[in-house]
Amino acid sequence: MDDKTFYTKILGIKLPWYVKQVVVDEAAQRIDIYLDHEKGIQVRCPECGEFYGMYDHSPERIYRHLDTCQMETHIHVRPPRVNCPKHGIKQIDSEVGENGSDMTYAFEGLVIRVAQECSVEATARLCGLSWDRSWNALDRAVNRGRARKEHRVASRIGVDEKSIAKGHKYESLVYDIDAGTVEFVWDDRGQESLESYYRQFTEEELTGIQAVAMDMWDPYIAATKAYVPEAEKKIVLDRFHVMKHVLTAVDEVRKSEHRKLSETGKETLKGTKYLWLWSRENIPQRRQGEFEELRAQDLKVCRAWAIKENLRHLWEYHYAASMRKYFNRWYFWATHSRLEPIKKAAKTVKAHIDNIVTYARHRITNALGEAINGKIEKIKRMACGFRNRAHYRTAIYFHCGGLDLFPKPPAKPTLCFRTT
């Protein structure tokens, strides 16, 4: 079997296409395969799918293909253009690789599979590509996947933000709680950005949103109220985020009390930060004796801790009315505690209570996005090679978007022999 027949077989080349030439460069460890087509053909219009006469050829395109053994393999082709009476002069959908790509369908699929398992830098190394070409493949995969994605609104969504670097850089994202997929990513924390997510849908579609979990962050609340019908019944402020406000207050009480005690030479609270922040059941066994001793003393932080621990019970109730009743008792206690940080936190929570008791009905938190969080942490660890935030967003869609990323060759042949 000669090399042209060999490649015709393994590449699955069918007439009127044929392998015109194979150039093996042993020194460069590279193989170049030139495809051409027979004369007297018709070309399929990519718009209507009908065969019409050929107009001319596009300039030669070179696609990187899977290696032949250890040799880098490239396919050269000049795709014909069709002269369609209805759609004008069109380039065919290439059977070798996507029109916008410099990789064959098979090679691009391999790059995507490798990138799903490791960083872009490693992908570039393993596939023998430049860093830019690897990113281009990821970009194309995400664009393809997003274009194919069914236009539908998720019924339960979470709005969450991720710090992507030390300091104050954030990526915000909307995810589908039930599918566990990221639906939308943007790079600030503003109202306008979340609104641009909602604006993709009609009012009727937005009615389909049943519940929205989010942090106590007014721009997100405002955006959701502006677009989602009956948002006030659907927004569920994340319980862990609510608790975080109270935890911060407990820590402030500890710090100021520790400062005062230290001034009189007492180091009672030294090294106790997490004893007050951990949930009761999470205090390690070996520190429980120490904790009980502290609790026996008349400490402010001890009161703050008890107030914090009691708020946790709020989410055990199954009816909004019971949650409100419990909260009002807690609020009275917190605001009469003479602990300023606790009073302040209690007031913040009260200002948002209408969208906290919605938990009774929807029972969602942002922790439902845990699977996504894990993946995003993985992306962050691989992020050293990202260089800019657009790449970070691409990576989130690539790994967490639940998208159909792979390029597909045209379903039907693009050339045929002229019949008349």
Of 80 and 401, the one with the shorter C-beta distance to Zn ion is: 80
Buried b (16+ CB within 10 A) or exposed e, 209-236: bbbbbbbbbebbbebbeebbeebebbbb
Report the nearest approach of Zn ion to the CB of residue 193 (Å): 40
Of 88 and 271, the one with the shorter C-beta distance to Zn ion is: 88
Report the nearest approach of Zn ion to the CB of residue 177 (Å): 43
Report the nearest approach of Zn ion to the CB of residue 217 (Å): 50
User: 301 to 320, contacts with Zn ion by CB under 5 A?
Assistant: none
Report the nearest approach of Zn ion to the CB of residue 84 (Å): 3
Of 94 and 104, the one with the shorter C-beta distance to Zn ion is: 94
Say whether 334 sits in a helix, a strand or coil: helix
Beta strands 51-57; 61-68: pairing state:
unpaired
Considering only 84, 346, 349, 400, the residue that binds Zn ion (CB under 5 A) is 84
List, in order, residues 6 or more apart from 342 with CB less than 8 Å away.
Answer: 246, 249, 250, 253, 304, 307, 334
Number of Cβ within 10 Å of residue 122's Cβ equals 15
Of 48 and 122, the one with the shorter C-beta distance to Zn ion is: 48
Of 47 and 205, the one with the shorter C-beta distance to Zn ion is: 47
Of 45 and 92, the one with the shorter C-beta distance to Zn ion is: 45
DSSP classification of residue 67: E
Task: Tell me which residue of 320, 399, 410 sits closest to 356, measured CA to CA.
Answer: 320
- Interaction mask 87-116, Zn ion, x per CB under 5 A: x-----------------------------
Contact 175, 160 (CB under 8 A): yes
Stretch of 77-85, 196-204, 286-294, 303-311 contacting Zn ion, by CB under 5 A: 77-85
Say whether 276 sits in a helix, a strand or coil: helix
Q: How far apart are CA 71 and CA 107, in angstroms?
A: 14
Report the nearest approach of Zn ion to the CB of residue 51 (Å): 10
Contact 349, 356 (CB under 8 A): yes
Q: How far apart are CA 417 and CA 420, in angstroms?
A: 9
Number of Cβ within 10 Å of residue 151's Cβ equals 7
> How many residues make contact with Zn ion (CB under 5 A)?
6
Stretch of 85-93, 98-106, 167-175, 305-313 contacting Zn ion, by CB under 5 A: 85-93
Report the nearest approach of Zn ion to the CB of residue 52 (Å): 7
Of 329 and 412, the one with the shorter C-beta distance to Zn ion is: 412
Contact 365, 240 (CB under 8 A): yes
Q: Is 86 in the site for Zn ion (CB under 5 A)?
A: yes
Beta strands 51-57; 181-186: pairing state:
unpaired
Stretch of 76-84, 244-252, 297-305, 323-331 contacting Zn ion, by CB under 5 A: 76-84
- Interaction mask 34-63, Zn ion, x per CB under 5 A: -----------x-xx---------------
Q: Facing residues of 316 across strands?
A: none
Cα–Cα distance list, 152 to 183, 206, 306, 308, 364 (Å): 10, 9, 45, 40, 21
Of 90 and 140, the one with the shorter C-beta distance to Zn ion is: 90
Stretch of 78-86, 249-257, 291-299, 330-338 contacting Zn ion, by CB under 5 A: 78-86
Tell me which residues touch Zn ion (CB under 5 A): 45, 47-48, 84, 86-87
